[in-house]
Structure 1
């Protein structure tokens, strides 16, 4: 590998090879890049969504409600199964979306202690615009990969996720 192609992770692993040759730090070439890539992609998604006045986490919840189908309502537990945030963060996020009038909260007909979250008309309009922006931004983010590379990367990431999530 030429010096021009080296990145921070190459340097870190090289430094560890010198300082602790007894350790194999090569897995960090993958893990470190995935972590860095996650931050870059989240920042890019938030920038793309800013014109809709929502954040990536907002989009995650709104999109989950939207793709659930009519009447676009779910319980907080159902939302938690589909998004990547903690239950405490979910409560704060639902409160924020409620204040923005993108969702409403209503008692669950089967259990009044549970407050379902549902999309308002404004919420449907916002998510329908935002998801188009998000899908275009995501496509741009993988634009340097051909179809075969996209499929391979998707399968490898799915394999890692499945293994580590079990």
Structure 2
């Protein structure tokens, strides 16, 4: 009888933790031929999220993909790579700056940035990410995005 009571108490505690525990957020980034910022864009192109949050890259229009730029990813963080026209969801556990691109439209400036976490940990690889070489349109868009993240 005591063991049944302990099991029930354990189940109730687990349920309380699941109900009362913080829940990670999920954000959506759309892949677009034309958006508010021009042609070939991710909207939004810049996100600030917490560790453990997820981002769903939605193939809103055909011909796009979402994949991380390895030189713009925090050390030790996993890379992601969606196929053309594929909707993918990525969970970001490690703080830092993550640059990503649409592979077919990278040279046209179809890029984005996700900042995971806050403070120094979130900006740990910011200077390294800023130093990465890109085609002119991608470089110009990244520069605007980085200005917003520096605040």
Structure with the larger helix share: 1
TM score, norm. by length of structure 1: 0.22
Structure with the larger strand share: 2
TM score, norm. by length of structure 2: 0.24
